[in-house]
Structure 1
Amino acid sequence: MVKEKSAIFIIFGGSGDLAHRKLYPSLFRLYKSGFLKDHFAVIGTARRPWSDDYFRETVITSLKDYFDDDEDVMKEFAKHFYYQSHDVNDSEHYIALKNLAAKLDDQFDCGHNRVYYMAIAPRFFGTVAEHINSEGLKTSGYNRLVIEKPFGRDLDSACELNGNISKAFPEDDIYRIDHYLGKEMVQDIPHIRANNPTFEKAMNNKYVSNIQVTLAESLGVEDRGGYYETAGVLRDMVQNHIMQIIGAVASDEPDATDAKVIHQHKCDLFGSLKELTPEQVDKSFVRGQYDTDKLGEKKSYREEDKVASDSEIETFTAGKIEFESKRWSGVPFYVRSGKRLPDKQSRVDIVFNDKVADLGIRANTVVTLLIEQIDGQSILINGINYKDSGQDFIKFPEEAEFNHAREAYESLIIDILSGNRVHFTLWDELRSTWKYIDTIRERWDSQTPEFPNYISGTMGPDAAEMLLERDGNTWIWD
């Protein structure tokens, strides 16, 4: 039975695309399921001078893009929504926000619980957090600060941002969103490992040849050219999403249930990242930028809106990541992500060597975990040969328990309201991954790439294939 939760959501950037495209539909799903019912309210803030009624209309309009529900249900849901025009630098606006939240807390009996959601530009995170603290918005219930990526653009800026936020909120109250950690397949990876002893026994450098993580997109940057010019795929996908997927696949003790234990194992893993010299960056990482397609019908990256005509920003990267831990020393983690590839794919390919036959498994078996469901499949297992018919190499939960119906943001909002920090990113993890990524970025910034260097609709630059071929390996998805 679903247990109803109580809270006031204060969404900074409540008029924006993220709120209407992701947050409000997710909150509506929770409303329909009973997880949110009578004891919640949402305050949207932004600079626009909207009324409550107009704000509610925008919410209902956004829901109609995703749901076929009776509009009366949507209107009942929208009655919990309120709007306040807000200047993030104006202390008086925070006092008005505090008074409105207190009024709604009494009206909806929300238990003095607050969720402060930063759906705004990262440059405002510190300012808003400081004002929440200084203007006394915190209450006697819980006060949880939710932050969207990007969390900084390098180690120095991330440290500065974290320092500003930490003055106002303790680490235990900070929820850094990485929406890939809300995907059910990523959340299920530790459970799959913990519930399959033979599979888990094989998950180390004795039996694993290599592990491959691919996050591929068939689209270009679309309307995100301005953002991509400041980020690139290395910052946008590798530093956060890919690293966190590796954390789920490779951390020790996957059967742990305590958030602090789980995060400590992830911190240990990322702390063992093998440092790169500039010369090793050249050898271990590849970057690319898409050109038009073979027919010349699609824009190249440099022709996209808000993109410089001589841009040196990468839309593709592939690399070999190594760890110096006892468990994974010597095992390459090949990663790649890019725009305008042949298809959309989010997957992990675990390639076992011939020694895995000692465990009763066919040599060179490949286990593929599909991060996003494709044709009804979540796990693909190639080349399985059971030594003992009574013991499978890998089992996964029954369909009723293992489905992808829940959206990532819906799952993460449930965790926020429940105080479950397992599927969020801690500062110590970010510090290690930023330090690693900065080494690559600094090397690339000192060189001039020959862009564009791959045709839209292909698998990226040829160097991405050569990266594995030098080690005697190949990409599983090609």
Structure 2
Amino acid sequence: MQRNPVSKLLLFGATGDLSQRMLLPSLYALHADKLLPDGLTITGSARSDYDDAGFRDFAKQALDKFLPDDRKDESAVGSFLERLQFQPCDLSDSNSFQPLADKIGDISGGLAIYLSTAPSLFESAVEGLEKVGLTAGTVRIALEKPLGYDLASSIEINDTVARVFPEDRIFRIDHYLGKETVQNILALRFGNSFFEPVWNSSGIDNVQITIGETVGLEDRAGYYEGAGALRDMVANHMLQLVALIAMEPPARYDGTAIRDEKAKVFRSLRKITPDKVAQDTVTGQYEEGAVGGKVVKGYDEELGKDSDTETFVAIKAHVDNWRWQGVPFYLRTGKRMAKRRSEIAIQFKPVPHSMFSGRGGILQPNMLIIRLQPEEYIQMLVMAKEPGLDREGVKLREVPLTLNIDAAFAGSRRRIAYERLMLDLIDGDQTLFVRRDEVEAQWQWIDAIREGWTANGTKPKHYPAGSWGPSAAIALTERDGVTWQDD
């Protein structure tokens, strides 16, 4: 990858929760490991009325709170804070931008802008930046999700940004793509010869992707009530995982080749029509239940009003191309689930003939499990013979072959997703960012599902908090003879 680092970084929303938890700690970690360009300045901006010293105090408190103890280094924190400065800016006020431009100064060495704010402010932000010359030349911009509510709003946002920034200077963020284990999907598939011959409909029976959260609304009630599980998780994280599993081998590891292949997957997703939506999708909403041994409220009670917003969705999807014809992709995500878990389970087809049949050997099809969180590992379930003299027949048992990422790379520092994404933004590498045609193809598929729900008058089925969702989600797979991977 050819690096083209900038000399200045502008963070909008610099006093928000994302900045405190992820952005500032990530930038500090890169600084402490001497990965940031020498002389890079970081300008924070928000409506907050900080000066430089006040913002540095704010940033230090965030680092004290959110950095792991083993990453805290007084000298490194001090030199990192010297990079920081602050300029208040109200994105809805065009007069706010000139003082910001004056604060940033000369951008001939390159500027990257990180826009972590409500999409409703994107247009005024872009217009204000353009007016004061902060979009000229090679300036690049990163957009934090959500990028739209549906296809129409996504197109509107993309058109607004594209009016000023060409596609090669737009970095759309899906933080899942920065996760180490997600990138390991590419290494697993395209760095090992033994998977490719069976990575298709001849060798794979089904693919299951689960993203389960044990939390409820927390502080996201306003956003979540308008979004629901389908827009919040399926429209970005889950479909990106589908693309990485289903994509054809790219010619090379770069932003164009990889994103070309992902876009082909999204265009190949079979549209779920209104007459199929009832059998291929399940929606749910959590009621009162127990999570982690504690009684928790139901969604309506947390929200404070009755709602038909789904907090759970399960989908049977298909990728209609040569490689994946006939292979179902089962997607499942929800809040207040039994466990916090993000994983991909790839169920291979059974052996065509069992020589152990009738001798006590019960064969299970092989399964590959890629766990993304809370642990990170890759596990292959294989059949092995139990020790013994076999006087009553050979006994086989399923055993795991596990690659524990932490253990295997114990000498390497683990990076959170935003460290990689921030560094790639600074360097100008778009590989792990989402291209416009990907976003819009995803929304086309999502919108068709929502239209089907509306046409059918679909209402979410209730499920108790602390479970794996409505019983209909079990039926979604079991009528195909498939069981969700819940171990």
TM over 0.5: yes
Aligned AA for 2:378? I
Residue matched to 1:470: 479
**Once the 2 structures are TM-superposed, how far is the Cα of residue 308 of structure 1 from its aligned partner?**
5.0
- Equivalent residues in 2 for 1:377-392, closer than 5 Å: 378-383=377-382
Distance in 1 between residues matched to 2:352 and 2:245, nearest whole Å? 18
Note the alpha carbon deviations across 1:58-96, whole angstroms, 9 max, x for none. 100000013332444323211211111112133332222
Note the alpha carbon deviations across 1:271-325, whole angstroms, 9 max, x for none. 0111121021111000100001159931111111xx2521100111111010111
Residue matched to 1:411: 420
Unaligned runs of 5+ in 2: 355-362, 386-400
Change (3 A) 1:384 1:257: farther
Residue matched to 2:359: none
Instruction: Say whether 1:437 aligns with 2:479.
Output: no
Residue matched to 2:432: 423
Instruction: Say whether 1:100 aligns with 2:103.
Output: yes
- Equivalent residues in 2 for 1:1-16, closer than 5 Å: 6-16=6-16
Note the alpha carbon deviations across 1:224-250, whole angstroms, 9 max, x for none. 111110111100000100000111111
Is the CA contact 1:175–1:421 (under 8 Å) kept in the aligned structure 2?
A: yes
Note the alpha carbon deviations across 1:158-217, whole angstroms, 9 max, x for none. 011101110010011111000000101111111111122121211101111000000011
Note the alpha carbon deviations across 1:34-59, whole angstroms, 9 max, x for none. 01264111111112222211111110
Distance in 2 between residues matched to 1:254 and 1:196, nearest whole Å? 14
Q: Determine which of 203, 208, 220 is the counterpart of 1:212.
A: 208
Is the CA contact 2:9–2:426 (under 8 Å) kept in the aligned structure 1?
A: no
Distance in 2 between residues matched to 1:204 and 1:452, nearest whole Å? 34
Residue matched to 1:82: 85
Residue matched to 1:389: none
Between 36-45 and 197-206, the greater mean CA deviation after superposition: 36-45
Distance in 1 between residues matched to 2:188 and 2:203, nearest whole Å? 18
Note the alpha carbon deviations across 1:324-347, whole angstroms, 9 max, x for none. 111111100000000111111110
1:65 match: secondary structure = helix
Between 243-252 and 189-198, the greater mean CA deviation after superposition: 189-198
Instruction: Say whether 1:118 aligns with 2:115.
Output: yes
Residue matched to 2:180: 184
Residue matched to 1:390: none
- Equivalent residues in 2 for 1:113-152, closer than 5 Å: 113-138=110-135, 140=137, 142-152=138-148
Distance in 2 between residues matched to 1:474 and 1:403, nearest whole Å? 37
CA RMSD of aligned residues (A): 2.6
Residue matched to 1:364: 365
Residue matched to 2:301: 303
Is the CA contact 2:6–2:427 (under 8 Å) kept in the aligned structure 1?
A: no
Note the alpha carbon deviations across 1:105-144, whole angstroms, 9 max, x for none. 6xxxxx621111111111112221233223211355x311
Distance in 1 between residues matched to 2:278 and 2:411, nearest whole Å? 41
Is the CA contact 2:141–2:169 (under 8 Å) kept in the aligned structure 1?
A: yes
Distance in 2 between residues matched to 1:71 and 1:420, nearest whole Å? 31
Residue matched to 1:342: 338
**Once the 2 structures are TM-superposed, how far is the Cα of residue 11 of structure 1 from its aligned partner?**
1.1
Distance in 1 between residues matched to 2:208 and 2:474, nearest whole Å? 13
Is the CA contact 1:285–1:318 (under 8 Å) kept in the aligned structure 2?
A: yes
Q: How many residues align?
A: 456
Between 155-164 and 71-80, the greater mean CA deviation after superposition: 71-80
Change (3 A) 1:322 1:216: same
Change (3 A) 1:238 1:126: same
Change (3 A) 1:5 1:277: closer
Change (3 A) 1:195 1:231: same
- Equivalent residues in 2 for 1:238-277, closer than 5 Å: 238-254=234-250, 256-277=252-273
Distance in 2 between residues matched to 1:252 and 1:50, nearest whole Å? 49
Distance in 2 between residues matched to 1:341 and 1:255, nearest whole Å? 39
**Once the 2 structures are TM-superposed, how far is the Cα of residue 254 of structure 1 from its aligned partner?**
4.9
Change (3 A) 1:234 1:341: same
Is the CA contact 2:259–2:435 (under 8 Å) kept in the aligned structure 1?
A: yes
1:278 match: secondary structure = coil
Identity %: 36
